[in-house]
A and B are shown apart, each in its own frame.
Chain A
Amino acid sequence: MAEKISILIVDDEESVRDSLLNWFIEDGYHVECAENAKKALHLLEDREFDIILADIKMPGMDGMEMHRRIKALNRDSIVIIMTAFASVDTAVQALKDGAFDYVTKPFDPDDLSHLIRNAAAQISLRTENEALKSRVITLEDIDDLIGKSEAIKNVLKQVESVAQSNSSVIITGESGTGKELVARAIHSNSSRKYFPLISVHCGALTESLLESELFGHEKGAFTGATFNRKGRFEMADGGTIFLDEIATISPKMQIELLRVLETKSFVRVGGNREISSDFRVICATNRDLKSMVQSGTFREDLYYRLNVVNITVPPLRERTDDIPLLVNHFIRKYCTSMSRDMITIEPAALKQLEQFEFPGNVRELENMIERAIVIGNGKEIKLKDLPMGKEAISNSVESLEELEKRHIELILKKYEWNISRTARALNIDRVTLYNKIRKYNLKQKE
């Protein structure tokens, strides 16, 4: 690697230039010298140097000024400042200005070797990083976004193209399709990945709780606010905020959110200080926001602010080609997490899965596989281990009533509409069961 690294020595003393030149040549580096800053800058106009060793005190332009000009040229060179006079102030200033390091002449040979080796290591990392970046075709951290279907490939393509931008994204799709996974993939493949991805499930919070969650609150803002608390927008500084179930937020919160998105600043609940935060917003919903705008339940201006890019995650029934891959992925995932030997799935069971509608989408498939591994024989998932159409409780069910209806229907079917046995199994009396059957209009199928 050493032979690939170029060093420019800038010092007005010939003996220093010669000594360093000789030293670095023996190490196999490519070395050039300049006796003053002007000549160095002239050399830099034509070519790049990986490392520039510059004396701080030179007639005319000094090393510090030269360093500033090199930075202004937007060169990636690592600048090491040399001086014969140890001065903390100038050292600190040089480092503040972005110098890689600061050394006092004469150097200990070992210090010089270390310094150059560290700089060379940094250059090597930077080169490697750039090479890797340019080679990134496969997305990182795409978790369970698995599939070979055109539909999922299209989603991944959109993720890849949108990740590097700062645009707001709305992810739409049915419940269980993996909208949060798409949000995570966008964040993980963006330049914000070293900062947090903060998720907020708007649907699970009341208006006042959501306000406090998003903006934070000052001590004493409301009963129980005994400490200052950072809001999610503040926590997402530098990173991404993921607002799930955005369609559920109240009109008041819609106005607040719009203001924050426009100004990237907000005030904590009960506070008066404006706080700025640099975040990217990604929203998700399983509702049709456009029709909500038309019906007046979702602000049009907020919709357009959020809907810069729209990614629609397809339901599983539109990407049945992916079911075998997903099944294998979940088998691997759960066998590993349960410390079990890898198992397989019998062809009949897989065929049944491929034909199933999956109203709860990938999440439902995942739950099915997990359950089948738990109750199965430990060698192979069989058709009987899959609850499809029997006792499956879809994750798409959101209301408690719907859940109750489905469960009663299932147990009635299990006991062939024997009311006494069903009531016993449900742990309710027969009258209640009759009432429920009437309420949900349940009928025995022939």
Chain B
Amino acid sequence: MKENSIILLSCGSFEKKFLGRIVLSAEAEFRLPVTTEECRMDIDPYYNPGRRQYDGNRLLHDLPLCTAGEYRKLLGLFTVDLFIPILTYIFGQAMLNHQAAIVSVYRLRNELYGMKQDEDLLISRTVKEVIHELGHTFGLIHCHVPTCVMRSSTYVEDIDQKSSNLCARCRSLFEELQK
């Protein structure tokens, strides 16, 4: 059973309630058990002083080293600002049809944009990003349906526009890919 589960690695300080909401949503969406683990990874070596951000590509590459557990998919949840060399920032990163994905809550917080802190909104955005990146690991590409969680989002406002669910087409594609 375990090898057919998703591990959510918390790489930073997250409240249990916060992680619990993500677990429930991911389980509901992918119909797979989701467990949480605390990650004790030292992320300092991934820091790029020139950009004052953390290298998402390298974190994604090394993430599987942080757990001894068996899993089908692994998602690292971070609190720090992530980048990849070509982009100024990323909300998350995954490799299509690979096992691992990462998401950071750093740029999902309302406060970063000078707005009032909103914990529910942060949870909602994080859930959507986690499902989105996990979707890529299951082989789903970006979707043009405005409300589909697999729609590409480059701003938080984009994330707010979509739902936390796969659209019918992505759902059936997901089911197809599971066979």
Contact = CB atoms under 8 A, between A and B. Distances in A.
Interface stretch (B71-79, B82-90, B161-169): B82-90
Contact of B87 (A19, A25, A27): A19
A109 B152 CA distance: 10
Contacts of A112: 86-87
- Indicate the member of B85, B93, B154 with the most A CB atoms within 10 Å: B85
A106 B142 contact: no
B63 interface: no
Contacts of B57: 15, 18-19
A23 interface: yes
A13 B142 contact: no
Contact of B141 (A18, A25, A105, A108): A25
Interface in B85-132: 85-90, 93-96
Given A19-B85, A26-B136, A26-B141, A109 B96 contact: no
B84 A19 contact: yes
B86 A23 contact: yes
A110 B155 contact: yes
Nearest to B90: A109
A22 interface: yes
A28 interface: yes
B87 A109 contact: yes
A328 interface: no
B86 A16 contact: yes
B88 A13 contact: no
Interface residues of B, number: 20
A19 B96 contact: no
A113 interface: yes
Contacts of A26: 94, 96, 136, 141-142, 152
Nearest to B94: A26
Interface in A1-45: 2, 13, 15-16, 18-20, 22-23, 25-28
B87 A23 contact: yes
Interface in A338-381: none
Interface of A: 2, 13, 15-16, 18-20, 22-23, 25-28, 105-110, 112-113
Given A19-B85, A28-B142, A106-B88, 5 more contacts: A15-B85, A16-B86, A26-B94, A26-B141, A106-B85
> Which 3 residue pairs are nearest across A and B when measured between Cβ atoms?
A110-B154, A28-B141, A109-B154
8 contacts: A2-B141, A25-B96, A28-B142, A106-B83, A106-B86, A108-B88, A109-B87, A113-B152
